[in-house]
Homo-oligomer: A and B are copies of this chain.
Amino acid sequence: MLKSNKWILATKFEGEPKHSNFKLEEEDLPALKEGEFICDAVYLSVDPYMRAFDYPVESCIIGEQVARVLESENKDYPVGCLVQMYSGWRSRSFVNAASRKETEEIHLLKVPDLGEREPSLALGILGMPGMTAYFGFLEICQPKAGETVLVNGAAGAVGSAVGQIAKIKGCKVIGFAGSKEKCDWVKSIGFDHVFNYKEQDIDKSLKEAAPDGVDCYFDNVGGNFTSKALQHMKQFGRMSVCGGISVYNASQPVLTPDPFMTILFKQLKVEGFDVMRWETRFPEGKAEMKKWIDEGKIKYRETVEEGFENMPKIFMSLLKGANIGKMIVKA
């Protein structure tokens, strides 16, 4: 009988995640029946949203992975085939690919042939974060050539892609990131203005880089950054609310200056989204992103850390900004 390891939520997150929030457990995998297969994690994704979602104690931590089929009773998923799916923080997954319900729940896909590129891209620029940037920016912000776009978390998997998509669309792009190394990279991939929010005043920076104001604001950070950014929006500005990494760890509700009068007087359009609303359009988004990568118009980076056993530690470092580009765990 094959066994798997999984990381479960031992206790609910409160404030910053701690080692005591996580517990490693072993589970037995059943013998395979028709339509089923078992696969080994190759790359696992860690993403900020894992902190923000509320799910029950004792459940496996959520997340997507790329895995290689180890045993199979499903001819569509032969041994050796690479798949991607939301099976959680598991070293080995049992999949009933004959069950439509299960495949929809875990969003099972075959990893497309990426040629010389690593299949981990299916978790990053050609996966959920890439689609988050593509649809979350284009659909909600509706950027027009010549407009000014503001992105924070600009060195992250999503932010770095948003800024480059905005450049492709003819916009002026302002990014904020949290270290010199990050800012240097963000600048190197074509952002027009890049600021280190830990060292530079947000208001002053925005006044300098966007004296006429910001048309589109793609927010990964929330909190204080957003309160300031709103003051720099133009009339009819659009804000895409993608994340709030600065407030995910708050154990108390965060108090913030009331934004609604600014939304009113500037006639802003603000929308939050979960990228899965566009899931049926992912093939279109992935094809476009792949084309831009092949043309050299979109660059990406990954921060790859090793060891399934280190997942909590790697995840905690992600929340502290240890990544440049997509953070990946190599199992």
Using a CB–CB distance below 8 Å, which chain A residues touch chain B? 52, 219, 222-223, 226, 241-244, 247, 253-274, 277
Q: Is the CB of B247 within 8 A of A258?
A: yes
Q: Main secondary structure on chain A at its contact with chain B?
A: mixed
- How close is A277's CB to chain B, nearest CB, in angstroms? 7
Q: Is the CB of A271 within 8 A of B272?
A: no
| Chain copies in complex | 2
Most buried by B among A247, A258, A263, A268: A258
Within 8 Å by CB of A268, from B223, B255, B271, lies B271
Roughly how many angstroms separate A173 CA and B222 CA in the complex, as a whole number?
32
Roughly how many angstroms separate A226 CA and B264 CA in the complex, as a whole number?
13
Roughly how many angstroms separate A272 CA and B241 CA in the complex, as a whole number?
16
Query: A222-B261, A247-B261, A256-B255 known; A269 and B267 CB under 8 Å?
Result: no
Roughly how many angstroms separate A319 CA and B42 CA in the complex, as a whole number?
63
Q: A255-B255, A264-B272 are in contact. List 11 more A-B contacts (CB 8 A).
A: A52-B265, A219-B260, A222-B258, A242-B264, A244-B260, A247-B258, A247-B261, A262-B272, A263-B272, A269-B269, A270-B270
Contacts of A219 in B (CB 8 A): 260
Within 8 Å by CB of A258, from B242, B255, B266, lies B255
Query: A241-B260, A255-B258 known; A269 and B266 CB under 8 Å?
Result: no
Roughly how many angstroms separate A274 CA and B268 CA in the complex, as a whole number?
10
Contacts of A222 in B (CB 8 A): 258, 260-261
User: What are 22 A-B contacts defined by CB distance under 8 Å?
Assistant: A222-B260, A223-B258, A241-B260, A241-B264, A244-B258, A244-B261, A247-B258, A247-B260, A253-B258, A254-B257, A255-B255, A256-B257, A262-B272, A263-B271, A263-B272, A264-B272, A264-B273, A266-B272, A267-B271, A267-B273, A267-B277, A270-B270
